[in-house]
């Protein structure tokens, strides 16, 4: 899927990004997890696929090495921040006590012991149901036999799995702590490009998880409540239109790449959003001092608006 996505991205940005890899033109950051590193590698293998034999690493290998950057999970302060931000664990514990979450737990109280009995595992949380559902869903995609006990509750498990993605950033605090760093980085990248058009950096790619995407979209107020399918891509583009800078956002959530990406609108703006407006609206969830908030025992009152 990611190899095909890499070809799709090459077709989309073929007139913007050099066909051959150029130092500094495209930066790639992945979480320090095998599957996201492998996804990035497959994507880039197609994005920079050398079609001419004399450009190849080996004559019989249509591939060129391209750099992928990462940091250890306990040092990641950008994409997978839970280990480097103690406050996240505290906020998740508080979130579990929200009326909406408690109502979902109560409504599914019989499901947890049922799943624990049949899996011989300790299934007691919404997240653990999501992980189990994901395994069974993948097996079903590849025509493996799903146990009868699981088939009976798959629709119920699917609902809980969807809700688990909403739980990734339900509160303003979790949006700030989990989505804030990545939104800040993207904002800084666009500011740099707008102020220095000659900068070699033209594309920044991030290889994360489905929860990374759900958190980011919730932070920006554009999440549709549907768990991101495999190889989903969230795109933020900076455009120069008649000398003015604008931002466009798209979501490619069709794993088959058969349909065009969906255009997204930041709440409070238009589909083609002026850069300054986008930065102001998105900046609401960017902490002034993320590290300080991550180690704080209390948060100041937060007020979120949509702007004009």
Kindly report, residue by residue over 233-281, the tens digit of the pLDDT. Answer: 999 999 999 999 999 999 999 989 999 999 999 999 999 999 999 999 9
Question: Between 57 and 190, where is the model more confident?
Answer: 190
Quote the mean pLDDT of the chain: 94
- Give the number of other Cβ atoms within 10 Å of residue 226's Cβ: 11
Please determine, for residue 184, whether its predicted confidence score (pLDDT) is greater than 50: yes
Q: How far apart are the C-alpha atoms of 81 and 76, rounded to whole Å?
A: 6
What lies within 8 Å, CB to CB, of 176 at 6+ separation is 219, 285, 286, 287, 290, 293, 302
Domain ranges of the chain: 2-83+170-289, 99-167
Please determine, for residue 217, whether its predicted confidence score (pLDDT) is greater than 50: yes
At CA 263, angle to CA 258 and CA 264, rounded to 5? Answer: 135
Structurally, at CATH architecture level, domain 2-83+170-289 sits in 3-Layer(aba) Sandwich (3.40)
pLDDT tens digits for 112-127? 999 999 999 999 999 9
Average pLDDT estimate for 15-36: 95
pLDDT of residue 126: 97
Question: Between 20 and 46, where is the model more confident?
Answer: 46
Q: How far apart are the C-alpha atoms of 36 and 30, rounded to whole Å?
A: 6
Q: Confidence band (pLDDT; 50, 70, 90) for 48?
A: very high
């Amino acid at each position: 899927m990611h190899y095909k996505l890499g070809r799709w991205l090459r077709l989309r940005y073929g007139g913007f990004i050099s066909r051959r890899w150029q130092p500094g033109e495209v930066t790639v950051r992945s979480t320090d997890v095998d599957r996201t590193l492998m996804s990035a590698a497959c994507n880039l293998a197609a994005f920079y696929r050398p079609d001419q034999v004399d450009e190849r690493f080996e004559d019989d290998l249509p591939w060129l090495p391209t750099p992928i950057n990462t940091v250890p999970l306990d040092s990641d302060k950008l994409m997978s921040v839970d280990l480097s931000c103690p406050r996240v664990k505290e906020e998740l514990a508080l979130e579990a006590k929200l009326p909406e979450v408690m109502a979902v737990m109560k409504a599914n109280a019989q499901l947890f012991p049922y799943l624990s009995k049949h899996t011989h595992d300790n299934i007691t949380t919404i997240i653990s149901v999501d992980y189990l559902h994901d395994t069974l869903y993948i097996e079903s995609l590849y025509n493996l036999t799903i146990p009868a006990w699981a088939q009976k509750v798959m629709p119920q498990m699917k609902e809980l799995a969807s809700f688990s993605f909403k739980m990734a950033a339900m509160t303003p605090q979790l949006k700030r702590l989990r989505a804030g760093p990545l939104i800040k980085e993207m904002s800084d990248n666009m500011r740099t490009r707008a102020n220095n058009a000659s900068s070699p950096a033209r594309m920044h790619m991030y290889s994360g998880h489905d929860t990374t995407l759900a958190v980011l979209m919730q932070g920006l107020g554009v999440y549709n409540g549907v768990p991101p399918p495999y190889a989903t891509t969230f795109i933020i583009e900076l455009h120069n239109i008649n000398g003015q800078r604008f931002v466009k956002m798209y979501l490619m959530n069709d794993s088959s790449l058969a349909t065009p990406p969906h255009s997204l609108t930041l709440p409070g703006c238009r589909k083609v959003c002026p850069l300054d407006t986008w930065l102001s609206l998105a900046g609401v969830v960017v902490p002034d001092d993320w590290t300080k908030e991550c180690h704080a025992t209390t948060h100041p009152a937060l007020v979120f608006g949509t702007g004009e």
